Structure 1
Amino acid sequence: MGHGGMPGGGRRALLTGWFSFADGEATAGDVLALRRVEQVLDERGVPYDVAFSPRFVPDGLTLDDARPEDYALLLFVCGPLHGPQLAELHRRFAGCRRVAVGTSLVDPADPAATGFHTVLARDGRAGAVPGRDLSLRGPAPGRPPVVGVLLTHGQGEYGGRRLHDAVAGTVTDWLAGAACAPVVLETRLDPADGRLCGTAEELLSALERMDVVVTDRLHGLVLALRVGVPPIAVDPVRGGAKVTAQARALGWPAVLPGETVDAKALDTWLRWCLTHGRYTARQRLTALAGAPDPADDLRAVLPP
């Protein structure tokens, strides 16, 4: 990653942040702030490289691989200025001009902060007005689809026919490489747990904001269709069970057997759900609204 200008040395910059450290983390805000800094350097014609932890960019430039003599400028983007990792950064790149941009000053006297030649802090300076974060203007072209994820590792009643763990593993591995924003949801309600929906209405409200739902739960399939969102249903029981049966009852085609589900099939159904599936889900919602009430059978056996 980097500008295609002057190779090596000279004015070349190395962009770093908490996303650069092997034990650091990359947040969405960090990455958007980084993109904004890249834009500014591109506008100025300053060539640069970005050092990422191999955890986030396995084939990219790492801090260990970056040679200090190749850079005139080191930029540290976003996050708090503290800790031994930054002290080591100052030591290794002592020959570079070091600038922190869009960062937080936890302790202005900390060597992690004072080691920079210039600190363009967003907050932490006594009496100073806080600055707006760089991520506010970081480019974010396009919007990936939002995929609700409803999986279960339970249902022990199916015994040796259970494929739940394998299905969940396949789905989550696929999501890691899919161009989508996954949102983990849960059909289990708990009004005492602020991480879960407390009412069925709350879950329906969350589901209707999804573009697609991927699920191995019967109610993940049913409730997604109830709000007109196309689900990809995977039956986690060998030979098929209630998920397959319910998909058939609802006339929904996007159902996969747990025995053979793979990334290719999930990709195919995701493309379908984002195109034809949206229309089909709305059609099914309209059709199901006019279908016989599932409670009719109960009415038939109740006393008059």
Structure 2
Amino acid sequence: MRALVIGWASFRHGEATAGDVLGMRRIADALATGGLPHDLAWSPAHRPEELSYESVDPARYSHVVFVGGNLHGWQIREVHRRFAHCWRVAVGVSVTSPQDDAVTGFDQVLARDHDGIGVPDLSIDVPTDQVLVTGVILAPEQRGHGHSARYAEVHDSVTEWIAGVNCARVPLDMRLAASNWERCETPDQFTSILSHLDVVVTTRLHGLVLSLRAGVPALVVDPIAGGGKVTAQADALGWPALVPAEEATEPEALDSWWRWCSSIQGRAVAALRALPTDNGLVRDMVKALKTGPVL
């Protein structure tokens, strides 16, 4: 006896959602607790390094457990065809068309909702690990830097690198808009988001400034070769976690400052930078007004 645990996250043309994957984890834990041999199989597009649903040998399994999502479509019918010799159970699923052969093909269906009656979803009580919540703020390409601009190269490197970091990534757009719900309408809304983050990765000047204002460590990458306004601002604020454009393609440099920003020391230094400072630009502006024509 050996069970194969699958779900929509197992299909190349399916979809891996956090809730359904947690449901698969919940069933796998229950099988392990019961001492029942089992495997989890995944889409090669979702988890290419793990057991692929496409390559498993159906003859190796006596049972198939399908977890989560709606029961419909050709992918599930293919499960019935490919694993016709197995006892097939669907659990934690939604049933909208009870007579669909995608549904009736299972030997047993344990639905989370059917005929308007629901039971708690499998994901409700699955333990999860806490990871760092990381805001990612990338600068739009700006004119005036000529051949020194490295926006595309730097952003490709940073996004490829952060995709491999075990953190909860939150892409943020600093542009404000009153009619677009995906953007903040006021700076107050935006800084409120920053205050809930653990780390920020940014190539924007204000990504650095507002992160430190919120006491959040910022891993800053300057997209301008030789150093532009981002580097100048990091120097002005005494912020060390700066990666020059020339080093942005080196994962070791990004890894090193990521570890520092994630550390107690990095958070402590960021908290100090959040303290109010005496801004020279304001003093100079007031002085200029006083020495100019009388207002």
Question: Which TM-score band (shorter chain)?
Answer: over 0.9
* Offset of residue 293 of structure 1: 5.0
AA aligned opposite 1:132: P
Query: What letter is aligned with 2:174?
Result: T
CA deviation map 1:155-196 (0-9, x unaligned): 122122111111111111111111111100111111110001
The equivalent of 1:213 in structure 2 is 200
**Which residue in 1 is equivalent to 2:11?**
21
Q: Which amino acid aligns with 2:162?
A: L
Alignment correspondent of 2:66: 76
Instruction: Name the structure 1 match of 2:42.
Output: 52
Q: Number of residue pairs matched? A: 289
Equivalent of 2:220, from 233, 236, 240? 233
Match of 2:254?
266
Q: Percent identity?
A: 47
Q: CA deviation at 1:139?
A: 2.4
Shift of 1:14: 0.4
Rounded to whole Å, the distance in 2 between the matches of 1:290 and 1:139 is 43
SS at match of 2:91: strand
- TM-score, reference length from structure 1: 0.92
Judged with a 3 Å threshold, the aligned counterparts in structure 2 of structure 1 residues 180 and 235 are, in CA distance, closer, same or farther, namely same
Q: What is the CA distance between 1:239 and its match in structure 2?
A: 0.7
- CA drift of 1:268 comes to 1.1
Is structure 2 residue 236 aligned with structure 1 residue 246? no
1:191 maps to a residue whose letter is A
**Kept in 2: contact 1:35–1:139 (CA 8 A):** no
Name which of 279, 283, 289 aligns with 2:272.
Answer: 283
Q: Partner of 1:281: helix, strand, or coil? A: helix
Secondary structure at 2:68's aligned position in 1?
strand
CA distance in 1, matches of 2:274, 2:55: 55
Q: Distance between the aligned counterparts of 1:88 and 1:149, measured in 2? A: 40
Distance in 2 between residues matched to 1:37 and 1:239, nearest whole Å:
54
Structure 2 vs 1, CA of residues 155 and 52 (structure 1 numbering), >3 Å: closer, same or farther?
same
Equivalence for 1:40: 30
Q: Secondary structure at the match of 2:110?
A: strand
Alpha-carbon distance, 1:93 to partner = 0.5
**Equivalent-residue separation in structure 1 for 2:42 and 2:199 (angstroms):** 31
What is residue 126 of structure 2 aligned with on the other side?
Answer: 138
Distance in 1 between the 2:51 and 2:167 partners?
25
Residues 82 and 112, structure 1, Cα contact 8 Å, conserved in 2: yes
1:147 aligned to 2:134?
A: yes
1:28 deviates by 0.9
Q: State the distance in 1 between where 2:13 and 2:70 align.
A: 15
1:144 to partner: Cα distance: 0.8
- Tell me how far 1:19 sits from its aligned partner: 0.6
Higher mean displacement: 253-262 or 196-205:
253-262
In structure 2, distance between residues paired with 1:153 and 1:48 = 48
Q: Judge conservation of contact 1:153–1:168 (CA < 8 Å) in 2.
A: no
Shift of 1:63: 2.3
* Among 187, 192, 205, the residue aligned to 2:174: 187
Amino acid across the alignment from 1:194: W
Q: Quick check: 1:88 aligned with 2:78?
A: yes
8 A contact 2:28–2:40 mirrored in 1: no
